[in-house]
Amino acid sequence: MLSAKPAAVSALVIFPALTAATSYSLVKEYSGSTFFNDWSFYGNYDNLTNGDAIFVTRDVAASSNLAYVNSAGNAIIKVDNTTTVDYNYKRNTVRVASTDEYAVGSVWVADMLHVPYGCSVWPAWWSQASAWPSGGEIDTFEGVNMVTMNQVALHTSHGCTITGAVQTSTLVNSTDCSYDDNANEGCVVTVTSTNSYGAGFAAAGGGVYVTEFSEVGINVWFFTRSEVPPALSTNLSVDTSALGTPTVNYPPTDCDINTYFAAQHLIFDITLCGGTLTALLSHLDFAGSSSVYAETCGTGTCYTDNVIGNGSNYASAYFEIQYVKVFSNSSTSTSSGSGNSNRGDRGAAVGAGLGALLGLGIAALALALSV
Ligand X SMILES: *[C@@H]1O[C@H](CO)[C@@H](O)[C@H](O)[C@H]1NC(C)=O
Active site residues: 137, 142
CB of 224 to ligand X, least distance (A): 19
CB of 235 to ligand X, least distance (A): 4
172 vs 363 by CB, closer to ligand X: 172
Contact 215, 11 (CB under 8 A): yes
Which amino acid makes up residue 210? V
234 vs 245 by CB, closer to ligand X: 234
166 vs 308 by CB, closer to ligand X: 308
266 vs 348 by CB, closer to ligand X: 348
Which residue has its beta carbon closest to ligand X? 105
DSSP string computed for 72-113 = TS-EEEE---SS-B-TT--EEE-EEEEEEEE-SSEEEEEEEE
Beta bridge partners of 214: 217
- The contact set with ligand X (CB under 6 A) reads 20-21, 44, 47-48, 78, 81-82, 104-105, 171, 173, 188, 190, 214-215, 233-235, 285, 309-310, 312, 315, 318, 329-330, 342, 348, 351
156 vs 368 by CB, closer to ligand X: 156
CB of 311 to ligand X, least distance (A): 7
CB of 206 to ligand X, least distance (A): 15
Contact 264, 336 (CB under 8 A): no
Give dist(CA 107, CA 239) in Å, integer.
10
Alpha helices by DSSP H, listed for the chain, are: 6-13, 58-63, 198-203, 257-260, 276-282, 290-297, 302, 346-370
Q: Is the dihedral of CA 217, 266, 139, 284 positive or negative?
A: negative
HSE at residue 77, side-chain half, CA atoms within 13 A, is 29
CB of 163 to ligand X, least distance (A): 18
